[in-house]
Amino acid sequence: MAPTIKVGDVIPKATFSYVPYSKETADVHACGIPQKLSTDEWKGKKVVLFSVPGAFTPTCHINHLPPYLTKYDEFKAKGVDVIAVVAANDPFVLDGWSKALGLGDKIVALSDTNVEWSKQLGLTLDLSGLGLGIRTSRFAIVLDDLVVKYVAEEPVGTEVTVSGADAVLAAL
């Protein structure tokens, strides 16, 4: 299924759950308190948003997220204000994943509970056959003041091409 969101569209409003980074809860044995983040907070900002089907899953954990962290300074040099990863996992799992990968305050890990926002974008993946249910698909979106400037969904869910850090950097 092709995404229903297109370049030039304003993204639908959403409120994500996430555990903000803090030095006090940076240790993997510490638990932070989930907060809410509204897409309204991205007004006037350049945002790179990429989505993974699941934290700690092989492709997501090894091939998709790490290059975004490695190339963080390149994204910042291109005027990106926010880099965020979205997944269907709960905010505590995403917080643990963030700590395991050492994201710190560089990449925000957002929980798309019940893939509600991703459904609005037409960017979901049915992994019920693997016992994982409906997930966010593997995609990337570049926003400028909430307007989509780039959107791409991986044609094969286990590959990282059009949603990877290099492809997004080239699109900026």
State how far the alpha carbon of 119 is from the alpha carbons of 4, 7, 79, 114, in Å: 9, 17, 29, 9
- Token pair, residue 105, equals 């305050």
Q: What's the CATH number where 29 sits?
A: 3.40.30.10
pLDDT of residue 118: 87
Q: String of b and e for 8-24 (b: at least 16 CB within 10 Å)? A: eeebeebebbbbebeee
Report the Cα 169 to chain-centroid distance in Å: 15
Q: What per-residue confidence (pLDDT) applies to 126?
A: 66
Other residues' Cβ atoms within 10 Å of the Cβ of residue 79:
10
Among 12-26, 59-73, 81-95, 121-135, which is the least confidently predicted range?
Answer: 121-135
* Res 51 pLDDT > 60: yes
Query: Is 31 an active-site residue?
Result: no
Domain annotation covers residue 136? yes
Domain that holds residue 166: 15-171
The active-site residue, picked from 11, 14, 55, 60, is 60
Q: How many domains does the chain have?
A: 1
